[in-house]
Structure 1
Amino acid sequence: QQPPLTRLLRGLEAELGVLLMQRLPRGVRPTDAGRALLDEARIVLARAEGIADVVQRVARGEQGRLAVGFTSSAAHHPFVSTVLREFRETLPDVDIVLDEAGTGELVDALLHERLDAAFVRSAVQGTAGLLADTVLEEPMVVALPRGHAFATGSEAPLSLRRLAGEPFVLYRRPAGPGLYDAILAACMAAGFSPHVKQEAPRLPGTLSLVAAGLGVSIVPASMRRMNTEGVAYRALKDCPGLCAPLHLAMRRAMPSPALTRFRELVRQKAALQKR
Structure 2
Amino acid sequence: MEFRYLRYLVAVADKQSFTRAAEALGMAQPPLSQQIRKFEQEVGTQLFHRLTRSVELTEAGLSLYQDAKGILAQTEQAMQKARRIARGQLGSLRLGFAGSTVLHPSVLQLIHDFRQAWPDVSLHPIENSMPNLVRDLVNEELDAAILRLPCSSSSALAHHLIEEEEMLIALPPHHPLAGSGAIPIEALAQDPFILFPRELGPGLHDAITQRCQRAGFSPRLGSQSPQVISTVGMVQAGFGVAIIPRSVSELHPHGVSYHPIAAEPLTTRISLATRLHPRQKSLQHLIGLLPGQLRITIMQNRMAM
Normalised to the residue count of structure 1, the TM-score between the two structures is: 0.83
User: Which residue does the alignment assign to 1:74?
Assistant: 101
Deviation per residue, 1:116-162 (Å, 9 max, x gap): 111111346851311212322111111122222222xx241111110
| Residue 164 (str. 1) matches residue 206 (str. 2) | no
CA distance 1:15–1:181, shift in 2 (3 Å): same
CA distance 1:202–1:87, shift in 2 (3 Å): same
Q: How does 1:120-139 map onto structure 2 within 5 Å?
A: 120-123=147-150, 126-139=153-166
Bigger Rg, which one: 2
Deviation at 1:215, TM superposition (A): 0.9
User: Which residue does the alignment assign to 2:120?
Assistant: 93
1:226 to 248, 251, 261: 251
User: Which residue does the alignment assign to 1:266?
Assistant: 290
C-alpha separation in 2, matches of 1:27 and 1:234: 87
CA distance 1:19–1:197, shift in 2 (3 Å): farther
Identity %: 36
| Residue 148 (str. 1) matches residue 175 (str. 2) | yes
The total of aligned residue pairs comes to 266
* Stretches of structure 2 lacking an aligned partner (at least 5 in a row): 1-29, 296-305
C-alpha separation in 1, matches of 2:172 and 2:151: 33
| Residue 255 (str. 1) matches residue 282 (str. 2) | no
User: Which residue does the alignment assign to 1:202?
Assistant: 227
User: Which residue does the alignment assign to 1:214?
Assistant: 239
| Residue 174 (str. 1) matches residue 194 (str. 2) | no
CA distance 1:196–1:8, shift in 2 (3 Å): same
Deviation at 1:78, TM superposition (A): 0.7
Deviation per residue, 1:219-251 (Å, 9 max, x gap): 0011011223453222221234x1121111111
Deviation per residue, 1:233-275 (Å, 9 max, x gap): 22221234x112111111114431111111110234889xxxx
Deviation at 1:30, TM superposition (A): 3.6
Cα pair 1:124 1:130 within 8 Å, conserved: no
2:214 to 186, 189, 210: 189
Q: How does 1:16-95 map onto structure 2 within 5 Å?
A: 20=47, 29-30=56-57, 33-49=60-76, 53-95=80-122
C-alpha separation in 1, matches of 2:165 and 2:80: 42
CA distance 1:229–1:106, shift in 2 (3 Å): farther
CA distance 1:144–1:12, shift in 2 (3 Å): same
C-alpha separation in 2, matches of 1:125 and 1:212: 31
* Stretches of structure 1 lacking an aligned partner (at least 5 in a row): none
- Give the 3-state SS of the residue equivalent to 1:245 in structure 2: strand
2:286 maps to amino acid: F
CA distance 1:123–1:31, shift in 2 (3 Å): farther
CA distance 1:123–1:145, shift in 2 (3 Å): closer
